[in-house]
A and B are shown apart, each in its own frame.
Chain A
Amino acid sequence: MGVLVGPRVIDAGMSLLSVLISPVPVAAGYPSPAQDYFDGRIDLNEHLIKDITSTYVVRVSGDSMEGAGISDGDELIVNRALEPKDGSVVIAVLDGELTIKRLRVTGTGVVLQAENPAYPDIRVPSVSDLVIWGVATRCLHHV
């Protein structure tokens, strides 16, 4: 049958990871009223995706964000609708490419930083000089 795609493909992929967790330890002879609220598996969509219309998954290529715990090959959950702030991990468009950086907004200007000393900072006068594609909200790091 057709594989679910669109916003729901994440669902299909993640159902494999779903964990059946009972909210309380089951003790014989003590029926817990809380168990009435048990509603099945943890739904990662619900916890990781705040807005399904603006959330995308991207894959990291490179090691410039190692210091932030974001490694080559990791997947990032990105919300395109979020307002980037000082400290946000952003996907910026640099030379026509989607590039991941840490955004620093200071009194003296705006800096796109790598989290790896091997890569230089990129300075611009203000955020409006940047095209920010989205703000990363989670990293699915391969352990």
Chain B
Amino acid sequence: MSKPAPIRRMPQIAHVDVNCFYASAERAFDPALEGRPVVVLSNNDGCAVTRSPEAKALGIPLGEPWFKLAPRAKEWGLVALSSNYELYGDISARVMELLGRYSAWLEVYSIDEAFLGVKGAPDELLALGWTMKSAVRRHVGVPVCVGIAGTKTLAKLANKWAKNNPAFEGVCHWDSVPAAAREALMGSLSVVEIWGVAARLTRRLNVLGIHSILELSRADPVMIRDRFSVVMMRTVLELQGTPCIPMEEERIGRDQLIFSRSFANPITTAAAMRQVLSVYGQQASARLAKHGLQAKVLTAFAGTSHFNPKETSYPSACVRLPVPTADPVVLTKAAHALLPRIHEGVRYARAGIMVTDLRPTGNQAPLAVFENPHEERHIGTLLEDVTRRYGRGSIGLGHAGIRGGPDWTMKRDMLSPRYTTHWDELPLVKAA
């Protein structure tokens, strides 16, 4: 394209993430939780993995075991909920699909956060931030904050600022904030607060006289590369305003695993997308197996090319797996749930899958191994017939079958309804 270039503005990056995602997803369907302290517990109802602002205000630390909280829950009015991964997966898919409408470039970074490429004058960027914030609230019912800056690292920092300082009302455009205020903020935050700096490196940075984010931003990138790593150098460059953190293709979060990449040549057919999703399914399987994990929920997503903003489309599909699994065949088939939403001829520039609701493989492994071959040999039907006649637990495969799948052993006493994914668990509306 050789059009005369109008005033070009450097593209910026918006980082959008949902506030207290799991707790907010629960509130979206249960308004009675609004204003009350809410914690969402990890698998097996172990410890608090998400706290609503009210729960934080009570001084409940992240990761606090439930047995310590339970005795005081009543006195606090604390509501504890088991992780409802199917609900969170669907809410996440809705948020990402909606955000995709506001940018031709979207990187799903985790279950509750995304980076988007944005352009415009500062006031336009702020307006876009507000628009996205209110759209997510209206469509999905969850609150988000938005940070906009020249690099991913600064966008994340801006978002954190927007979350912690009510004056921003949830949207912070880094470059619109006076430089003195930005430096004051960076000077007040420890390096451990910045995205990409591992806590274990803090002491080594401190030895060099680097304590705050501001000091890190003033460090010599080459020295940092030599003493630490390229990763740390990128953080320094990003803090200085040079974008250099590429799209990551594989990420492991606290309770999720993501595979995604952009394609050199856009994918335009469902057949090609099927292949890509199959590759991810197998990669996810290998990665889960390596970490001794199984997944119960899978989300597959795709996005259009950012070279053609006219056909913006970000379809996604969230799939509940029959049993927790790391089986490549099961994961691949699940990822294919996206295919009906892939339109022939549309140019998809990226795709990915995310697996959540992870739990250790433990001694349930034989169940997953037997699950599929037996389906094909009609042993499943036989088992069902016997179960129907003689009751659950009367027959099983090896000892795994008889012992019951992990879902029966998984403790989830405080599970909310799977409002959006099960016909028999729909939200109830009172007609009275």
Contacts and interface: CB of A to CB of B under 8 A. Distances in A.
Interface of A: 1-9, 11, 13, 51-54, 56-65, 70, 72, 75-76, 80-81, 91, 93-94, 96-100, 114, 119, 131, 133
Contact of B426 (A2, A6, A57): A57
A5 B430 contact: no
Contacts of A131: 31
A81 to B, nearest CB: 5
B139 interface: yes
B334 A2 contact: yes
Interface string B301-331: 0000000000000001111111000000010
Contacts of A13: 423
Interface of B: 31-32, 34, 86, 89-90, 93-95, 97-98, 135, 138-141, 298-299, 316-322, 330, 333-334, 337, 340-341, 418-423, 426-432
Contacts of B299: 6
B420 to A, nearest CB: 6
30 contacts: A2-B298, A2-B320, A2-B330, A2-B334, A3-B320, A5-B320, A6-B93, A7-B318, A8-B317, A51-B139, A53-B94, A56-B419, A56-B420, A57-B426, A58-B427, A58-B429, A61-B429, A61-B432, A62-B431, A62-B432, A63-B431, A64-B431, A96-B34, A97-B32, A97-B430, A99-B429, A100-B431, A131-B31, A133-B31, A133-B141
A2 B333 contact: yes
Given A5-B319, A53-B95, 4 more contacts: A59-B426, A59-B429, A72-B431, A98-B31
B89 A5 contact: yes
A46 B80 CA distance: 38
A5 B421 contact: yes
Contacts of A133: 31, 141
Given A6-B319, A9-B422, A81-B139, A1 B330 contact: yes
Given A52-B97, A96-B34, A131-B31, A6 B420 contact: yes
Contacts of B97: 52-53
A28 B370 CA distance: 52
Contacts of B419: 56
A1 B322 CA distance: 6
Contacts of B429: 58-61, 76, 91, 98-100
Nearest to A98: B429
Nearest to A60: B431
Nearest to A6: B318
A38 B7 CA distance: 49
Interface centre among B320, B421, B431 (most CB of A within 10 A): B431
B421 A9 contact: yes
A61 B298 CA distance: 32
A98 B322 contact: no
Given A56-B420, A81-B138, A96 B31 contact: yes
